[in-house]
Amino acid sequence: MTAISTDLIKKLRDKTGAGMMDCKRALEEVGGDMEKAIEYLRKKGAATAAKRADKAANQGVVESYIHAGGRIGAMVELNCETDFVAKTPDFKQLAHDIAMQIAAMNPQYISREEIEKSVIDKELDIYKTQATNEGKPANIAEKIAVGRLDKFYQEVCLMEQSFIKDSGKTIKDLLDEATGKVGEKVVIRRYKRFQLGEEN
């Protein structure tokens, strides 16, 4: 059996997110060949996108998009786990598409988890009042309010917006696809949108 260095095991772990023992076993099985070890782990299911949730995504790119005429622009920081993935054309294109989405759709939050409870309560109250004013009974007004709150999330949360290039997908779908494709966690860390003359 080939003796496997700790350094090689660590490299494989960084690439796949699999456990140290799984990486050691994989490298031993394939005689230390990195590519074969990755394939071995994938077949065993030890290196799947679903296991990426707790991985640190601290590599990536800052990408910008300036709309024609230079009146609206956006910058986004899109993170992944390795510099290797960050440098790929597909990753840069994804970051560019997200910056374009932000410029066009002006989201207020990345995800619904960021919205303060007071904002949600206020929106629900408005929707309930609207439904009551439309003559709906209280229990129905409640359901209508929850439905309208979902629409509110789709408007103000970047992750829930329909992608401007393909309305059949949300931005979350795009990130999930990218995660599955590259085998790394892909996350939007932060963004900023600029519109000429607007107050901060």
Q: What is the pLDDT of residue 50?
A: 43
The mean pLDDT of 26-49, rounded to a whole number, is: 79
- pLDDT over 80 (residue 154): yes
Q: Average pLDDT in the 126-152 region?
A: 91
Residue 53's pLDDT is 55
CATH 1.10.8.10 fits domain 6-47? yes
Average pLDDT score over residue span 178-193:
90
The tokens for 114 are 């960021």
Element (H, E) at 118: helix 117-133
Query: What pLDDT digit, counting tens, does each position of 155-176 carry?
Result: 999 999 999 999 999 999 999 8
Q: Which tokens sit at 39?
A: 């394939």
**In this predicted structure, what is the pLDDT of residue 7?**
87
Residue 11: other Cβ atoms inside 10 A: 15
pLDDT at 34: 87
Chain segment 136-145, per-residue pLDDT in tens: 888 898 899 9
pLDDT surpassing 80 at residue 1:
no
pLDDT for residue 118 is more than 90: yes
Phi, psi of 94 (to 5 degrees): -60, -45
Contacts of 6-12 with CB under 8 Å at 24 or more apart are: 8/32, 8/34, 12/37, 12/38, 12/41
Q: Distance between the two ends of the chain, CA-based, in angstroms?
A: 63
**pLDDT value at position 200?**
60
* Whole-number percent of the chain with pLDDT over 90: 54
DSSP string, 144-177: HHHHHHHHHHHHHBGGGSEETTEEEEEHHHHHHH
Q: What kind of fold does domain 116-155 have according to CATH?
A: GTP Cyclohydrolase I; Chain A, domain 1 (1.10.286)
Q: Which residue has the higher pLDDT, 181 or 78?
A: 78
Per-domain residue ranges of the chain: 6-47, 59-111+157-195, 116-155
Which letter, b or e, does each residue of 163-187 get, where b requires 16 or more Cβ atoms within 10 Å of its Cβ? beeeeeebbbebbeebbeebbbbbb
Largest CA distance in the chain: 77
Give the Cα separation of 82 and 101 in Å (integer).
Answer: 24
pLDDT for position 45: 64
Taking the model in full, what pTM does it have? 0.68
Q: What is the pLDDT of residues 61-111, one digit of tens each?
A: 999 999 878 999 999 999 999 889 999 999 999 999 999 999 999 999 999
CATH number 3.40.50.620 given to 59-111+157-195: no
